[in-house]
């Protein structure tokens, strides 16, 4: 009887120690639907309904921190102590983040407020990506100031990302800080990163080699994936265009026991509708069929230290070519087509060591397999990259120190004569960084990195940054440093693979080196009438030594590679202006003006495919009473020099000023759903306008009817009056005109 009585008391105590927490999350007196509420200690979370209401049931007594968050808003954390309460009401009002108080990690490899970091970092959230829906990260960056997705082939539509006028191989793309997008994937991997797995994108313009090593010469794009803490229970985003491009994003989260949270995302894209609007008998846009599966696991440790593991599988089948091409012609000489099969595996992990010091171990592994044909030329390539990194974050008085060591192993093999046997390279790295707080408003950052490359030997890259913050809303930054890049020629230069030109390598290629200085000023305004504004200006100068620039001009049938006998430089000015009005209007305008010059053998020239200036903009207007949002986005680019095939080539030597503009309408009244649609390329602009043709000798892709002289140069004939050879490299913009799109988003919590 006594035991029953004690058991009754215990059960009664347990029942009354469970608490229900509920409330409403708003912003500017408007409810926030699908905002996140999460208690990390208990691994318990929920999301608000369409009226902003949330509820957490059966919370045991104890002390906790509750996180209230929503994309594009400042996260709030609230401490609570529960002791025999049956119900607790917590109402929260979230403020828009304006991207200034967000925590960034890319510039210094540690979490720091964007307004406090000595290295300027631009942040673009998932909300930004939704303003102009695209199926991959490559296309989504078209509205980021100073960043330009550059197409490199009119047939297979491969591309790379230029930052401040520098070629794609100078831009490092990382996922969660791990450099897995490199080598072969810089050609075909960028189109395989779906927007659905992205929480935000952090961009550093200027060299970051002292922290990230080779490739981070011109800039760094760090794609940070979603966490299971803030992701909805299930989501779907499906859209299609009037060209029958179909994109499906599906995702959700689930728990494995009490200690593991998993986030699963699947992206499928299909475009199988050949179109030839410019009547050259070649597809205007590459046909694609691809799938990407992403799975991220977060492990809840009793120490509350971080441990995550993520994997991704990507497969793509793409082709472009003559309209009558099919897979029966693959690799043959009857009908020209470029067909690329890509299979890729990725693994990323991060583990915080169970010690008192703040030490992280991170790693990544990628396996990339490519099977391609360019007409009748077969290109088979296999690449494996293993990367490991150990960092120690330590604060001592006014010093914020970061020590790190890294190791990278790369295996590469292909079937070209340039790779007689498989290439294996190893890079061992050590880096140190010290941010010193000199005074309340002044700090300086010193950093250096030592790399030992098994092929090229020792490479040293120092940097220094100074920050002056005269007020809470003003900040000046000066960054200067060096960068280096170890060239993987055949994995980075798509033009070298198409077979349209012979590849000539005149010497052993040494690593490229750069010297850079960047000045940055940022100011935040808050006016009494509720208007918020942020302005940011930067100027830069970059000088290259040993730069490797493909020479298209010396011989129209060749691409000649060598270390530059001279120098290369690029400099310019860029700025962003944001305005947020209290009545639902948000505007963002960016501009970049730049100059780029090469001096080769005493001759000064402008590199090809480098714009003189560019402008981007985004205007969003929320009409609350109609539950409607309107997004108007666009870009405008100045002239750039284009690759001609000789003096007789009738195509324009410089591109015109051109612009791609888009409009989108989003209806948010439906429960759990968002309906959106609009028009892409409102001006119906394509690069073939005012040009007789884009692809040279599209009627003779195997060069069967060309007469060559003794030096191998094409000569004018009746059938070839311009002395051209087949070449698809005259490309600088998407060859896709106006089209409508319609989509549906579904979020369930």
Q: What is the per-residue pLDDT across 348-358, written as a single tens digit (0 to 9) for each? A: 999 999 999 99
| pLDDT tier for residue 468 given thresholds of 50, 70 and 90 | very high
Least confident of 194-208, 278-292, 629-643: 194-208
Give how far the C-alpha of residue 249 lies from the chain's centroid of Cα atoms, to the nearest Å: 18
Residue ranges and CATH numbers for the domains of the chain are 2-93 (2.60.40.10), 103-224 (2.170.130.10), 225-286+294-748 (2.40.170.20)
| pLDDT tier for residue 495 given thresholds of 50, 70 and 90 | very low
- Which has more confidence, 206 or 580? 580
Tell me the C-alpha distance between 344 and 474, whole Å: 45
Tell me the C-alpha distance between 250 and 663, whole Å: 24
What percent of the chain stands above pLDDT 90? Answer: 40
Closest CA to 374 of 429, 346, 347, 414: 414
pLDDT of 567: 79
As a whole number, mean pLDDT of residues 394-399 equals: 91
| Contact call for residues 81 and 479 (beta carbons, < 8 A) | no
- SS3 of 712-739: the string is CCECCCCCCCCCCCCECCCCCCCCCCCE
pLDDT of 537: 94
pLDDT at 371 over 60: yes
| Contact call for residues 101 and 524 (beta carbons, < 8 A) | no
pLDDT of 546: 73
**Euclidean distance between the first and the last CA atom of the chain, given in angstroms as a whole number:** 46
| pLDDT tier for residue 604 given thresholds of 50, 70 and 90 | confident
Tens digits of residue pLDDT in 240-273: 999 999 999 998 888 888 889 999 989 999 999 9
3-state secondary structure of 237: strand
Tens digits of residue pLDDT in 480-493: 888 777 766 555 45
Least confident of 34-43, 110-119, 122-131: 110-119
Residues paired with residue 70 on neighbouring β-strands, in sequence order: none
Neighbour-count burial for 530-554, b at 16+ CB within 10 Å, e otherwise: eebbbebebebebbbbbbbbbbbee
Tell me the C-alpha distance between 311 and 183, whole Å: 19
Provide the 10 A C-beta neighbour count for residue 597: 15
Tell me the C-alpha distance between 550 and 352, whole Å: 43
pLDDT at 737 over 50: yes
575: exposed, middle or buried (Cβ count in 10 Å: 0-12, 13-18, 19+): middle
Tell me the C-alpha distance between 431 and 429, whole Å: 7
As a whole number, mean pLDDT of residues 452-463 equals: 83
Tell me the C-alpha distance between 160 and 148, whole Å: 8
What percent of the chain stands above pLDDT 70? Answer: 86
Tell me the C-alpha distance between 692 and 321, whole Å: 19
Tell me the C-alpha distance between 213 and 179, whole Å: 9
pLDDT at 106 over 60: no
pLDDT at 95 over 80: no
Tell me the C-alpha distance between 237 and 247, whole Å: 8
pLDDT of 197: 75
As a whole number, mean pLDDT of residues 294-313 equals: 90
Tell me the C-alpha distance between 108 and 208, whole Å: 9
Longest Cα separation, the chain: 112
State the Cα angle at 158 between 642 and 680, rounded to 5°: 85
As a whole number, mean pLDDT of residues 135-145 equals: 87
411's tokens? 């295996």
State whether the Cα torsion 4-9-11-12 is positive or negative: positive
| Contact call for residues 737 and 684 (beta carbons, < 8 A) | yes
Pairing of strands 558-561, 502-505: parallel
Tell me the C-alpha distance between 150 and 145, whole Å: 14
31's tokens? 């409810």
| Contact call for residues 686 and 276 (beta carbons, < 8 A) | no
Tell me the C-alpha distance between 450 and 213, whole Å: 9
| Contact call for residues 265 and 194 (beta carbons, < 8 A) | yes
- Which has more confidence, 19 or 335? 335
pLDDT of 458: 85
Pairing of strands 159-163, 171-175: unpaired
pLDDT of 379: 86
pLDDT of 17: 62
- Ramachandran region of residue 546, left (φ > 0), alpha (ψ -120 to 50) or beta? left
Task: Pick from 158-167, 203-212, 421-430 the range whose average pLDDT is largest.
Answer: 421-430
> Which residues fall within 8 angstroms of residue 731, CB to CB, at 6 or more apart?
151, 152, 153, 154, 687, 694
DSSP 416: S
> Which residues fall within 8 angstroms of residue 372, CB to CB, at 6 or more apart?
338, 339, 340, 341, 378, 379, 380, 381, 497
As a whole number, mean pLDDT of residues 151-179 equals: 82
Mean pLDDT (the chain) is 84
φ, ψ at 229 (rounded to 5°): -65, -40
Provide the 10 A C-beta neighbour count for residue 217: 30
CA atoms within 13 A on the CB side of 351: 11
SS3 breakdown of the chain: % helix, strand, coil, rounded to 5? Answer: 10, 55, 40
Tell me the C-alpha distance between 39 and 43, whole Å: 6
Strand order in the sheet with 36-39: 44-47, 36-39, 62-69, 76-82
As a whole number, mean pLDDT of residues 86-111 equals: 68
Closest CA to 725 of 552, 562, 609, 560: 552
Closest CA to 482 of 210, 215, 108, 119: 210
pLDDT at 188 over 80: no
């Amino acid at each position: 009887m006594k035991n029953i009585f004690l058991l009754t008391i215990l059960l009664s105590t347990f029942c009354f120690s469970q608490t229900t927490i509920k409330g409403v999350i708003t912003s500017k007196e408007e409810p926030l639907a699908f905002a996140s509420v999460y208690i990390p200690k208990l691994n318990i979370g929920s999301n608000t309904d369409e009226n902003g209401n949330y509820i957490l049931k059966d919370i045991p007594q104890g002390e906790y921190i509750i996180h209230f968050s929503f994309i594009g808003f400042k996260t709030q954390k609230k401490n609570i102590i529960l002791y025999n309460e049956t119900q607790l009401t917590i109402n929260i009002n979230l403020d828009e983040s304006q991207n200034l108080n967000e925590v960034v990690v890319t510039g210094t490899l540690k979490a720091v407020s964007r307004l406090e970091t000595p290295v300027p970092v631009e942040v673009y959230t998932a909300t930004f990506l939704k303003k102009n829906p695209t199926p991959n990260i490559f296309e989504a960056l078209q509205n980021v100031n100073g960043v330009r997705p550059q197409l490199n082939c009119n047939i297979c539509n491969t591309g790379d990302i230029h930052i401040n006028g520098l070629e794609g191989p100078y831009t490092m793309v990382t996922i969660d800080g791990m450099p897995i997008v490199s080598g072969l994937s810089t050609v075909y991997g960028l189109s395989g990163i779906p927007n659905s797995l992205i929480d935000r994108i952090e961009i550093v313009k200027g060299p970051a080699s002292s922290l990230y090593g080779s490739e981070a010469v011109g800039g760094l794009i760090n794609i940070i994936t979603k966490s299971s803490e803030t992701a909805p229970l299930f989501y779907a985003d499906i859209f299609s265009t009037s060209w029958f491009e179909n994109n499906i994003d599906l995702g959700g989260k689930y728990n494995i026991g009490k200690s593991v949270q998993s986030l699963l995302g699947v992206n499928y894209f299909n475009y199988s509708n050949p179109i030839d609007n410019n009547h050259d008998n070649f597809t205007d846009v590459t046909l694609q069929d691809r799938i990407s599966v992403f799975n991220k696991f977060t492990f809840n440790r009793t120490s509350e230290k971080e441990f995550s593991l993520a994997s991704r599988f990507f497969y793509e089948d793409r082709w472009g070519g003559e309209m009558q091409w099919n897979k029966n012609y693959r690799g043959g000489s009857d009908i020209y087509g470029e067909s690329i099969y890509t299979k890729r595996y990725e693994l990323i992990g991060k583990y915080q060591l169970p010690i008192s010091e703040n030490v992280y171990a991170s790693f990544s592994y990628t396996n990339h397999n490519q099977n391609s044909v360019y007409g009748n030329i077969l290109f088979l390539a296999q690449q494996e990259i293993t990367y490991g990194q150990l960092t120690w974050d330590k604060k001592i008085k006014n010093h914020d120190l970061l020590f790190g060591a890294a190791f990278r192993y790369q295996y590469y093999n292909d079937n070209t004569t340039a790779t007689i046997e498989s290439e294996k390279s190893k890079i061992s790295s050590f880096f140190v960084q010290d941010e010193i707080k000199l005074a309340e408003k002044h700090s300086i950052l010193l950093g250096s990195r030592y790399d030992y490359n098994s092929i090229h030997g020792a490479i040293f890259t120092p940097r220094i940054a100074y920050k002056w913050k005269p007020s809470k809303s003003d900040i000046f930054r000066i960054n200067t440093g060096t960068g280096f890049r170890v060239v993987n020629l055949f994995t980075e230069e798509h033009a070298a693979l198409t077979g349209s030109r012979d590849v000539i390598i005149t010497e052993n290629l040494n690593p490229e080196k750069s010297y850079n200085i960047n000045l940055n000023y940022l100011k935040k305004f808050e006016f009494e009438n509720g208007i918020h504004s942020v302005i940011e200006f930067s100027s830069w100068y970059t000088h290259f030594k040993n730069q490797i620039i493909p020479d298209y001009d010396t011989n129209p049938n060749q691409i000649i590679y060598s270390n530059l006998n001279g120098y290369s430089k690029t400099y310019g000015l860029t700025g962003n202006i944001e305005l947020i009005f209290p009545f639902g209007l948000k505007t963002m305008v960016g501009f970049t003006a730049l100059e780029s010059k090469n001096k080769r053998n005493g001759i000064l020239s402008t590199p090809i495919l480098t714009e003189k200036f560019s402008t981007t903009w985004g205007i969003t207007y929320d009409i609350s009473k109609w539950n409607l949002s309107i997004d108007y986005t666009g870009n405008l680019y100045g002239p750039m020099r284009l690759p001609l095939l000789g003096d007789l080539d009738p195509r324009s030597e410089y591109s015109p000023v051109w612009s791609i503009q888009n409009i989108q309408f989003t209806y948010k009244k439906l429960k759990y759903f968002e309906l959106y649609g609009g028009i892409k390329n409102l001006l119906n602009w394509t690069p073939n306008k005012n040009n007789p043709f884009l692809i040279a000798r599209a009627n003779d892709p195997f060069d069967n009817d060309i007469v060559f002289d003794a030096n191998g140069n094409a000569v004018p004939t009746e059938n070839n009056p311009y002395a051209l050879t087949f070449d698809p490299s005259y490309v600088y913009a998407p060859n896709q005109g106006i089209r409508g799109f319609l989509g549906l988003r579904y979020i369930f919590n």
